[in-house]
Structure 1
Amino acid sequence: MKPARIILLIVAIVAGGLAAFLVTRGGSAPTTITQTEVIEEAKAQVLVARTPIGMGERLTPDMVAWQDWPEGALRSEYVTSSAMPDAPAALTGAVARFEFFPGEPIREAKLVRSEQGYLSAVLSEGMRGVSVNVTPASSAGGFVVPNDHVDVLLTTGSGAAQQSQLILSNVRVLAIGQRLGELGVTGGGENPGAAETTPATFTDATIATLELTPGQAETLVNASTAGQLSLTLRSVVDFNNPVTADASGSKTVRLIRFGKEQAVQAGSVSSDQQAIVNTPVSVTPAAAPQTMPPIDPASVPM
């Protein structure tokens, strides 16, 4: 083979190898590796309910536990380990004024540190707890539970003369029997300490404890001796409405008839009494005293 052909063949082989190198290596785009750094958000220790805590229950250390909580989601009313490191022990014996669900942060505003009974701890300031006998038939079939709001009706008379009137409106139920709340030991039921998943009812005659003002308490006690009391359940949308005046008037008024005083409920005045109350009284002005006409001295004989 001629030297010129050998040189040409060598040049062709080198050119082909260089082209293959450029295609396989030199023509590929550079690979970019992006590293993402994960920064964990700062957390704090918040005291939460470990088990359901019913209204009126006293806290124990095994009911609560510390849990990590993002600092960005902290609220000032939460109990934190930095502000109260001995919170489980410090809050032992405090009474829950409202229910706590598992995992819910403990707030001191929902607790009261009281050595008194459960009921006095959950009563609002200035209110009174008054108990009355009720039956399922007289209280929405037994479906009334604590924290419901009810109206109280008084039924008097019998037979055709039986009548009912509203004496209290939109009052809060504190307890039914020994039941103070929906959860925990105070929830009653067959499984104390567990959340209830079915509607709660009572089937036997029991005692309902209502949260009332002093004036309402007096009205209810007086009415309990006059007839049968019934509870009518209100809708939950009415709970936050202000307590309205009783439709038929719940105050006792004094009626004086024929010189005798009688106490009656406003709005329950009978027809003959109403006629007397509404009958206008006409007053005849007293006759003016008669006076002697003036005497003319000239007409008097001398």
Structure 2
Amino acid sequence: MPLNRYSIVLAATLVTAGSATFGVYRVLESTRAQNRVQLRQVLVATKDIPEGSTLSRGILDEEAWPLVSVPAGALASLDSAVGRVTRVAVYAGEVIVPGRLAPVGTGPGLQVKITPGKRAMAVKIDDVVGVSGLIQPDSRVDVLVTLRDQRADGEQVAKLFMSNMRVLSVGTVDRSGPDNRPIIATSATLEVTPMEAERLAVAMRDGTIQLVLRGFGDPDSVATVGATSEDVLLRPRKAPPPPPEPKPVIRRVIVRVPEKRPEPPVAAVVPAPTPV
């Protein structure tokens, strides 16, 4: 009898332990399922890709990324990207997304570099090795114009009238020579708005254009008043002539005098007869 009782207690203990073990197992499996990361295949650049480059299989790779880290619209296969052209620079390790690529069928060229809403305009520059040879694509420049000011008796004035302009290309080559010497360029293509293109066209017609190279990380624009020969020689500027006195204005004033009306005759007063 005691043996049967012990057997029952032992069996109950084993059942309880098994139930507890199974419960712990279910909890652990549930936790693992919640922590299991969902992956998605994406297309990643294996090296830095300059803008305007045609994508090929040698510079792309398919990788599995956590779903929460995948950008919206990310390309997933090599076939969806090979042959397309980059609109902006793509760096190694970045996911390829449609916004960084030109439309399907677009070939490599300057047009893929132009920001929407802007234009590309060529500016002729002097054949000197100075700053013009050091300007490279994606450099930032200010535009200086020197012309004669018709409002100041034809005096020459130099003025910075456009600031922080992006250079799209320089001459016909987009980089330095093999010996790292600066390239002598005869033209630079700037990215401008339509209104800036109009101002630039007038400046090139009426004066001489020069480009002033800016440093990276210097987006501020400085408003200047321009410089003349007096500023170069450190002479005080001539005071502008006083405005001419206004001519006297002669006004014709017509005064209307009311007509004098004749007064009505006064009736004679006849005295009343004296009573007798």
- TM-score normalised by the shorter chain: which range applies? 0.5 to 0.7
Is structure 2 residue 74 aligned with structure 1 residue 94?
no
Matches within 5 A, 1:161-172: 162-172=156-166
Kept in 2: contact 1:78–1:105 (CA 8 A) = no
Matches within 5 A, 1:266-277: none
Distance change >3 Å, CA 204–CA 189, structure 1 → 2: closer
Kept in 1: contact 2:43–2:95 (CA 8 A) = yes
Is structure 2 residue 120 aligned with structure 1 residue 129?
yes
Is structure 2 residue 203 aligned with structure 1 residue 223?
yes
Which residue number corresponds to residue 102 of structure 2? 112
Work out the CA distance in 1 between the residues paired with 2:186 and 2:258.
Answer: 84
Identity %: 26
- Quote how far apart the aligned CAs of 1:293 are: 4.8
Work out the CA distance in 2 between the residues paired with 1:80 and 1:93.
Answer: 14
Query: For structure 1, which segment, 54-63 or 122-131, has the greater mean C-alpha deviation from structure 2 after superposition?
Result: 54-63
Work out the CA distance in 1 between the residues paired with 2:52 and 2:86.
Answer: 5
Q: Secondary structure at the match of 2:252?
A: coil
Which residue number corresponds to residue 7 of structure 1? none
Kept in 2: contact 1:146–1:175 (CA 8 A) = yes
Is structure 2 residue 194 aligned with structure 1 residue 214?
yes
Distance change >3 Å, CA 188–CA 63, structure 1 → 2: farther
Q: Secondary structure at the match of 1:216?
A: helix
Distance change >3 Å, CA 188–CA 58, structure 1 → 2: farther
- Quote how far apart the aligned CAs of 1:138 are: 8.7
2:52 to 28, 52, 56: 56
- 1:93-142 deviations in whole A, cap 9, x for unaligned? 32212112333332322111252662222211211110011247597353
Which residue number corresponds to residue 75 of structure 1? 70
Structure 2: runs of 5+ lacking an equivalent = 1-34, 149-154, 227-237, 265-276
Which residue number corresponds to residue 294 of structure 1? 259
Q: Secondary structure at the match of 1:218?
A: helix
Which residue number corresponds to residue 268 of structure 2? none
In the alignment, residue 288 of structure 1 is paired with which amino acid? V
- 1:16-74 deviations in whole A, cap 9, x for unaligned? xxxxxxxxxxxxxxxxxxxxxxx9976544322234322112222333122354x1772
- Quote how far apart the aligned CAs of 1:153 are: 0.6
Kept in 1: contact 2:53–2:108 (CA 8 A) = no
Matches within 5 A, 1:35-46: 44-46=40-42
Distance change >3 Å, CA 224–CA 80, structure 1 → 2: closer
Kept in 2: contact 1:49–1:65 (CA 8 A) = yes
Kept in 1: contact 2:54–2:108 (CA 8 A) = no
Larger relative contact order (CA 8 Å, sep ≥ 6)? 1
Work out the CA distance in 2 between the residues paired with 1:117 and 1:222.
Answer: 31
Kept in 1: contact 2:43–2:75 (CA 8 A) = yes
Work out the CA distance in 1 between the residues paired with 2:139 and 2:245.
Answer: 45
Work out the CA distance in 1 between the residues paired with 2:48 and 2:63.
Answer: 16
Which residue number corresponds to residue 261 of structure 1? none
Structure 1: runs of 5+ lacking an equivalent = 1-38, 181-186, 192-199, 250-270
Matches within 5 A, 1:170-189: 170-179=164-173, 189=177
Count of residues paired in the alignment: 213
Q: Secondary structure at the match of 2:43?
A: strand
Q: Secondary structure at the match of 1:103?
A: coil
Work out the CA distance in 2 between the residues paired with 1:178 and 1:141.
Answer: 13
Distance change >3 Å, CA 43–CA 152, structure 1 → 2: same
- Quote how far apart the aligned CAs of 1:247 are: 4.8
Q: Secondary structure at the match of 2:206?
A: coil
Kept in 1: contact 2:45–2:95 (CA 8 A) = yes
In the alignment, residue 295 of structure 1 is paired with which amino acid? K
Distance change >3 Å, CA 210–CA 156, structure 1 → 2: same
Distance change >3 Å, CA 54–CA 80, structure 1 → 2: closer
1:146 to 137, 142, 145: 137
- Quote how far apart the aligned CAs of 1:173 are: 1.4
In the alignment, residue 297 of structure 1 is paired with which amino acid? P
- Quote how far apart the aligned CAs of 1:174 are: 1.5
Kept in 2: contact 1:145–1:201 (CA 8 A) = no
